[in-house]
A and B are shown apart, each in its own frame.
Chain A
Amino acid sequence: DAKTTQPNSMESNEEEPVHLPCNHSTISGTDYIHWYRQLPSQGPEYVIHGLTSNVNNRMASLAIAEDRKSSTLILHRATLRDAAVYYCIRGGGSNYKLTFGKGTLLTVNP
C-alpha cells in the first residue's frame, strides 16, 4: 500500500511549467513527502523532499498543502529530459523504506 495517489499520466510542452499532484490524505505528522523519478531504462533518482514548508532545489520545487494532505511537484521549465515516471512517496523518521506506488508518467512534447 503506497498510501499516496497520483494521476497515471500527464503531458506537458517543452519549456512550460509542470505541476504534478500527489494526494496523501492519511499522512502522519512525522511523515516526509519524497519525490523520485525514473528515467527510461534507469534506476530511480531523488528529486526533492519536504515536511511542512515549501522546498526548492536545483531540480524542482515542492509545494505542500497547509493540511499536508496533498503536495505538488513543480518543474519550472520542462525539458525533454524530464520525461519520466515521477513517484510521490511518504515516509520518514525511523521508517527508511521507500514504498513505491505506480507514479505519474510525464510526457514532454517538443
Chain B
Amino acid sequence: SAVISQKPSRDICQRGTSLTIQCQVDSQVTMMFWYRQQPGQSLTLIATANQGSEATYESGFVIDKFPISRPNLTFSTLTVSNMSPEDSSIYLCSVEDGFLAGGRNEQFFGPGTRLTVL
C-alpha cells in the first residue's frame, strides 16, 4: 500500500490569494489525482496529475484556477488561485498503486487539506 502525506493539513486564507498544497507519496506511483470535497458533499475529481506533462482536467476545472505540477513519481502540487469563499473545501490527493489482476488499481487517499477562504 501507499502512504500519502499532504501539506498543509489546513489553512485559512484571504480571498484573492493563492495556496499551494503538496502531496508526497512514499513510493513511486503512476497515477496521481486531485479531488475536491465541498462541505457536506461527495468528492469531485479535479484533475489527473501527469508526470512530465500537463495535467488532465475534468469538466468545470481549468488550469488557470487550479495549476498542478508533477515533477516526479512521488510528488505533486495543487495550487488554488485567486481564491474566493466558494473555494472553501477539503482538497485530497490520491494515488493508484500496484495492479490487481483483471481489474482497476486500488486508489489510496491522503488525509486532505481543509481550506477556508474568508
Contact = CB atoms under 8 A, between A and B. Distances in A.
Contacts of B108: 45-46
A51 B110 CA distance: 26
A96 B96 contact: yes
Nearest to A31: B104
Nearest to B4: A43
A100 B104 contact: no
Interface residues of B, number: 23
Contacts of A99: 45
Contact of A49 (B31, B104, B109): B104
Given A43-B112, A96-B96, A32 B103 contact: yes
Contacts of B48: 97
Interface of A: 2, 32, 34, 36, 42-46, 49, 51, 87, 91-93, 95-103
Given A87-B42, A103-B42, 12 more contacts: A43-B94, A43-B109, A44-B92, A44-B109, A45-B108, A49-B100, A49-B106, A51-B102, A51-B103, A91-B104, A96-B31, A96-B96
20 contacts: A2-B42, A36-B107, A42-B111, A43-B92, A43-B109, A43-B111, A44-B92, A44-B109, A45-B109, A46-B108, A49-B100, A49-B106, A51-B103, A87-B42, A91-B104, A95-B104, A96-B104, A98-B45, A98-B94, A98-B107
